[in-house]
Each structure stands twice: as C-alpha cells, then as structure tokens.
Chains A and B, each alone.
Chain A
Amino acid sequence: MSDKRIVYQSDEGIAAVVIPAPDYSGTMEDLLERVVPENCKDSADIVDVDTVESDRTFRNAWVTEQGKSVEVDLDKSKVLAIQKVRQARVPKFVELDVAYQRAVEEDDSDAKTAVVVKKQTARDAPADSRIDNASDEVELKTAMEAVIKTVGDL
C-alpha cells in the first residue's frame, strides 16, 4: 500500500486526491502524468498520505496548490456548515408543521405560540453566530454539531 498521494486542484475548485491501487507497480510521477487532467497539472503534487486531511466533514472545502498538500478553506467550510444545518432542520420543520396543525385543530393557542417560537429558532439556526465566529475547522465542526443538536432538540 503506497504511503503517497497525488493532490491537485480540480476545475470545480476542490482538491482531488489520487489513491494508487494496491497492485499499481509504476511510479507516482508516471501516475500523475496519466491521471491528472492537463489543465490541472500546474497545481499537482506528490505528497505523503499523512499530510492529507483525514476528517471529511468539510470535504468540498479542501483546496491545494503546488508545493502544498490539502488545506481546508475556512470560508468554504462555513458555507458547507450552513448547508448541513439547513439540511438537518428539514425533518424538524415537518414535525413542527404537524404539531402546529394539531394545535389549530385543538384550538390551543399556547401550543401554537410554542410551535411558532420553535420554528423561528429553526429558521434562525443557519445564522447562528457560533458558525460565523469559528476560527478554524475544528471549532467550526463543534459549532455546527451544537447548532444541529439545538435544532434536533426543539
């Protein structure tokens, strides 16, 4: 198993990582020539496997440039974190819609008010300042998971 990887910046603006097959017998330089698209070769490099990020939470925020291994772009990661929060609140909105409908049927104004407050909390979740204030991807992941838990607990 090779302890090397090829990294390059793809056309989509995301770092691609080439993993050699276990029985690949050629050189990494040959592999780079063969599999990296011509227009991406300027950013391509052969790096040690342990320099490549192992936490894939913000995989689409990985970037690279020649002379470097993979790095996690914090601004792109924040956009992904907000998307994950939006995704996580979808089933909560469905649940709260049902609760509101029931409160209407029972003419329970307290229950209706409670649901309205919870829905507003869910709507505000993507704008939670803990996400925007995170100073690195570790802090961002912690903040994102906390916000998702807050939404889940509503």
Chain B
Amino acid sequence: MSTLSNTDLTVTDVTATDINTTNLKNASGAEASTPAEINSGRAKAWVDYNQQTPAVIGSFGVSSVTDNSAGNFTVNFSTAFADTTFVGVTSMNLYNRGSQATSLLTKTTGGMSFGTNYEASPDGNTIADAEVNMCVFFGDQ
C-alpha cells in the first residue's frame, strides 16, 4: 500500500472497489460529509405502492409488498435492518376522500406493515385501500 500525505492529488475517472475515507467533500473542498453521515442519512429502501390495483410502481431495497387485507399492507425489505430502531416515513392518498391517515401496524427487521383509513363520518374512520402509498426507510442494515 502506498501512502501520500500533505499532497494535493488530482485524479479523474477513478475506478475503485473500496474507498476508505474520513470525509467526502465537493470540488471546492466544502460540504463535507462523513461516511457515517451518508450511511445514516441515505434511504435504505423506498417504495411507491398502489393498493387499489394493487401494484408496486417503483422501489429500491424492497423485495415485495404483501397485500394483507383492505387498507393493510407490508413492505418487505431486500436486506433486513440490523434491529427495529429503523425509521419509516410514509405519505398516502385516497383520492376524493376526506381526512386521511396511515398507521404503523407492525415493525420487524424484515418488513413494516401499515394501515390506511379515512374519516367516513364524525362517528369514525373507515379502512380503505389507498391509491398512493409512498414509504421511505432509514436505519442501519
């Protein structure tokens, strides 16, 4: 292994298998991010899922989606998370409906289940299939 120190080295079109670094910066030497920040900050999985058809429109890091029942689905990850401290962020839409919500139902290292509903009347909510479910997941795998 060669070591260069205190040297400005300009290289273009680098092909490498592993780059071990302390910081990554932009071309001006600013906007530094550590590998830890990048690892924690990037989404490990995401999915765009329509439960009315139902169909997986697009995804990353997701093997499949399980249509469990009306307004209830599970996103199954390609790679399991290290533990259940990971985070899932969702948005949904039931077109032409009133007040709407997505609920977290279950969470395991291999997948996360959600329920979708809308306010059908002042007396309560109704479970329903959402046309748009966008889910993004962050955490350690």
Chain A: residues with CB nearer than 8 A to chain B?
A: 6, 10, 12, 14, 16-24, 26, 31, 34-35, 56, 59-60, 62, 87, 90-91, 94
Contacts and interface: CB of A to CB of B under 8 A. Distances in A.
B64 A21 contact: yes
Contact of A19 (B64, B69, B111, B123): B64
Contacts, number: 76
Interface of B is mostly: strand
Contacts of B78: 21, 24
B59 to A, nearest CB: 4
A60 B123 contact: no
Interface of B: 47, 52, 54-56, 58-60, 62-70, 74, 76, 78, 110-111, 120-121, 123, 126, 129
Contacts of A18: 64-67, 76
B111 to A, nearest CB: 7
A21 B120 contact: no
Interface of A is mostly: mixed
Contact of B76 (A22, A34, A59): A34
16 contacts: A10-B69, A17-B67, A18-B65, A19-B65, A19-B67, A21-B65, A26-B63, A31-B63, A34-B63, A34-B76, A35-B63, A56-B52, A56-B129, A59-B70, A60-B70, A87-B120
Contacts of B54: 17, 19
B111 A21 contact: no
Contacts of B47: 21
Contacts of A23: 59-60
Given A16-B69, A24-B62, 10 more contacts: A18-B67, A19-B65, A19-B67, A20-B63, A21-B59, A24-B64, A26-B63, A34-B63, A35-B63, A87-B120
Q: Which of A12, A35, A62 has the most CB of B within 10 A?
A: A35
Contacts of B60: 23
Closest 7 CB pairs of A and B: A59-B70, A21-B59, A17-B67, A14-B69, A90-B121, A35-B76, A21-B62
A14 B74 CA distance: 14
Q: Which of B63, B65, B74 has the most CB of A within 10 A?
A: B63
Given A22-B59, A34-B110, A91-B121, A16 B64 contact: no
Contacts of B64: 6, 18-21, 24, 31, 35
B55 A19 contact: yes
A84 to B, nearest CB: 9
